[in-house]
Chain A
Amino acid sequence: MNQLRGIIRYELLMSWRRRALPMLMLTFLAALVLIGLMIEQVSATVDRGVISVQVQDGVTTITQRIEDGSIIEEPLDAEAASRLPPWMIGLDLSQAANTIRGINVLIPALMVLVVGSIPLLSDVIPLDRQYRIRELLDATPLHRSLYLIGKVLSVWVGLLIGLALCFGIFQSVLYLRYGAYDLLPLLLDWLVFAIPLTLMTSFGTLLFTSWAGTRRVGLLVGIGLIPVGVYLYFVSAMTLSGVGRLVNPVYGFGTMGASLNGINDQTIALESVIGMLLIYAVAFAAVWMFGWGVARWREAR
């Protein structure tokens, strides 16, 4: 454990000094801002329409913002009230709209993080060979698996710290710009979609570039991995980014330009989220075994 801690500590320090992690996180923040600006335009439609639906003493009251921006409150007749989806009742739709804005910014910005992380992380292991440090490392009692685990964990810890910082900044900006929002669905998206996707991409990048002898070769392999990262992103976006539905169906996968009128009110089963995370785990194990197999094969040669 001491060796592992040491590797993580010093690898983190080196990646900080190489500017790889800060560069990646700054790009991610820039993407969040840029996409936020883009979405502001289309989200204007969200600001118009229903703000909340309340039921009191059997009377359904709807609060909405009309064209000129003013807010009106009016009772609904029984037939119109029956057409409203049940999840809408009692929900602060203004708050929900802000949350959807956040989710809509986060999902495309993650694409930037995934694509950007591949070239920036593809040299983590090849650099040891380029710096001719491997001979020294091999002469220590450090097991090769531990070396690889240390490298992966150091990148993961760096990414997790970076993502946590970005999340903090992101939610503060979201609050200051738009007001209150639902933290839980946003946090769920971060935990179930953003973090596993980022960890899986970085893990694959590290393992598949581990055989490269120079940064250049590692980069070339990394470039080849970008389409794989993009594919992984889309698969994850389609399956995991709607995890907010666990909280309320309103937090489904809100595509850009979605308005509250067109919200997908399908619910999501917890099992399907767990199922997808299990697929991640299996893919993780497969990539690990592949990487380990390649390493052993190279050693045997």
Chain B
Amino acid sequence: MIEIENLSKTYRGGVKALSNLTLNIDTGMFGLVGPNGAGKTTLMRILAGLLRPSGGRVTAFGHDLATYAGRHTVKMNLGYLPQELGLYPNLNAYEFLDYMAILKGITDAGERKRQIGNLLETVRLTDSAKRPLKTYSGGMKRRIGIAQALLGHPRLLIVDEPTAGLDPEERVRFRNLLADMAVERTIILSTHIVEDISQSCNDLAVMRAGTVVFRGAPADLIQRARGHVWTLTGQRPAESLTLVSTLHLQQGVQYRVLGDPGGDALPAEPTLEDGYMWLMQSAELSKTAK
């Protein structure tokens, strides 16, 4: 259980990344979405004990992250995959995972070997385990990042854009893996790929400008867009409408829009992406109105 109360973070130079953010995250898979600069990475870094908040309070499993002891305890139970993953290019996959396992405090060599073997199998890199990481492709590096995050069976897993760079098959596999693990863990998944959230999370938060603008189930977010999603074929929609997709079909160009185009537009079944777009549009409108 993670409790965040009135969390704020202001960087040097006055850039405000988080402002008075309050959020409770339970066991299970929790999705975090939002536009670039919304404060997702800052929030994840605070939860991982990498950044100190400027104000507010964060506790994870009852441990206060403001204290060294609290951060240390959380880190002992943490699996973390940053957005910009760095690896040691001169080590091979096995050595890198072994090094990370040691740093995570897995002291028993046999246990490390067993875990690394299993994880390499899970991310399908057993055959390449002895190759230096500098020879790995982007997707392979990402999979090594996932494997290192899973070392030590962490109670809290924070993954930032985990599926970026993975092929569709690997993405689905990894999504399922996370969903399986979420039964007894807290997994915070930050992504721009809304489909990943809709397929695996039963709880999500949408962030915008350092605050949470939506909190609930994906179905609730989808519900918000109901009645506002339309498809148009032929003429290009007006500028006032939000264009979600453009599809070139044999009978002409089909547009999917948010808003109220009127005319011969047909209502469409909303998706999570529509819900997200509708929410962002509403937030922008209310900001302009203020």
A and B touch in the complex (CB under 8 A): yes
Chain A residues near B (Cβ < 8 Å): 2-3, 5-7, 10, 13-14, 17-18, 131-142, 301
B51-92 near A? 1/0 per residue, CB < 8 Å: 000000000000000000000100110101010111111110
Could you tell me if B104 and A18 are in contact, using CB atoms closer than 8 angstroms?
no
Among B22-30, B94-102, B198-206, the stretch in contact with A? B94-102
> Who on chain A is nearest to B160 by CB?
A135
Residues of A within 8 A of B12 (CB): 301
Q: List 16 A-B contacts (CB under 8 A).
A: A6-B99, A10-B91, A13-B95, A14-B88, A14-B90, A131-B89, A132-B82, A135-B45, A135-B82, A135-B86, A136-B85, A136-B148, A137-B103, A138-B48, A139-B48, A141-B75
* Identity of the chain B residue whose Cβ is nearest the Cβ of A15 in the assembled complex: B90
**A-B pairs, 3 with minimum CB distance:** A132-B86, A6-B102, A139-B80
Contacts of A3 in B (CB 8 A): 102-103, 105
A133 / chain B contacts, CB cutoff of 8 Å: 86-88
Which residue on A lies nearest to B50, using beta carbons? A138
> Are A136 and B82 closer than 8 Å at their CB atoms?
yes
Given contacts A136-B148, A140-B103, A141-B105, are A131 and B88 in contact (CB under 8 A)?
A: yes
Chain B residues with CB under 8 Å of chain A are 12, 45, 48-50, 72, 75-76, 78, 80, 82, 84-91, 95, 98-100, 102-105, 107, 148
Chain A interface SS verdict (over half): helix
- B158 to A, closest residue via Cβ: A139
Question: How far is B48's CA from A188's CA once the two chains are assembled, in angstroms?
Answer: 50
A6-B98, A139-B49 are known; give 17 further A-B pairs, CB within 8 A.
A3-B102, A3-B103, A6-B99, A10-B88, A10-B102, A13-B90, A13-B91, A14-B90, A14-B91, A135-B45, A135-B82, A135-B84, A135-B86, A136-B148, A138-B50, A139-B82, A140-B105
Interface contact A136-B49, CB-CB below 8 Å: no
Distance in Å: Cβ of A12 to nearest Cβ of chain B? 12
Shortest beta-carbon distance from A134 to chain B in Å? 7
Residues of A within 8 A of B95 (CB): 10, 13
Q: Please report the C-alpha to C-alpha distance between residue A139 and residue B74 in the assembled complex, in whole angstroms.
A: 9
Name B145's closest neighbour in chain A (CB-CB).
Answer: A136
Contact B87 A131 (CB under 8 A): yes
**A136 with B100: in contact, given A14-B88, A141-B72, A141-B75 (CB under 8 Å)?**
yes
Q: A140 contacts which chain B residues (CB < 8 A)?
A: 75, 100, 103-105
Residues on A with C-beta less than 8 A from B78 are 139
In the complex with contacts A131-B86, A136-B85, A136-B148, A141-B76 CB distance below 8 A: yes
- A6 to B86 CA separation, bound complex (whole angstroms): 19
Q: Give the chain B neighbours of A17 by CB distance below 8 A.
A: 90
CB distance from A157 to the nearest CB of B (A): 16
Q: In the complex, what's the smallest C-beta–C-beta distance from A215 to chain B, in angstroms?
A: 13
- Complex CA distance for A137 and B87, rounded to whole angstroms: 10
- By beta carbon, the residue of chain A nearest B133 is A131
Supposing A6-B99, A10-B99, A138-B50 touch, asked if A132 and B104 sit within 8 A by C-beta, the answer is no
- Closest residue of chain A to B74 (Cβ to Cβ) is A141
Assess A135 versus B50: contact at CB under 8 Å? Given A13-B95, A14-B90, A141-B72: yes
Instruction: List chain B residues, Cβ under 8 A from A10.
Output: 88, 91, 95, 98-99, 102
Q: B48 to A134, Cβ gap below 8 A?
A: no
B75 → chain A closest CB, angstroms: 4
Point out the residues of chain A lying under 8 angstroms from B48, CB to CB.
Answer: 138-139
Instruction: Say how far A47's CB is from chain B's closest CB, in angstroms.
Output: 48
With a cutoff of 8 Å between Cβ atoms, the chain A residues found around residue B75 in the complex are 139-141
Distance in angstroms between the alpha carbons of A136 and B86 in the assembled complex: 8
Shortest Cβ distance from residue B53 to the other chain A in the assembled complex, whole angstroms? 14
CA distance A141 to B95 in the complex (A): 19
Contacts of B107 in A (CB 8 A): 2
Q: Given the complex of chains A and B, what is the CA–CA distance between A136 and B82 in angstroms?
A: 7
Chain B residues whose CB sits within 8 angstroms of the CB of A135 once the complex forms: 45, 50, 82, 84, 86
Task: Select which of B50, B84, B87, B88 is within 8 A of A139 by beta carbon.
Answer: B50
A10-B95, A135-B50, A136-B80 known; A142+B86 contact, CB < 8 A: no
Q: Which of B76, B89, B102 contacts A2 (CB 8 A)?
A: B102
**CA A136 to CA B103, docked complex, whole Å:** 10
List of B residues within 8 angstroms of A137 by Cβ: 103
* Least CB distance, A212 to chain B, in whole angstroms: 16
- Pick the most buried of B76, B78, B86: most chain A CB atoms within 10 A of its CB: B86
A135, closest chain B residue (CB): B82
Inter-chain contacts of B89 with A (CB < 8 A):
131
- In the complex, what residue of chain B is closest to A134 when comparing beta carbons? B86
Question: Which of A2, A139, A301 has the most B CB atoms < 10 Å from its CB?
Answer: A139
Residue of B nearest to A2 (CB): B107
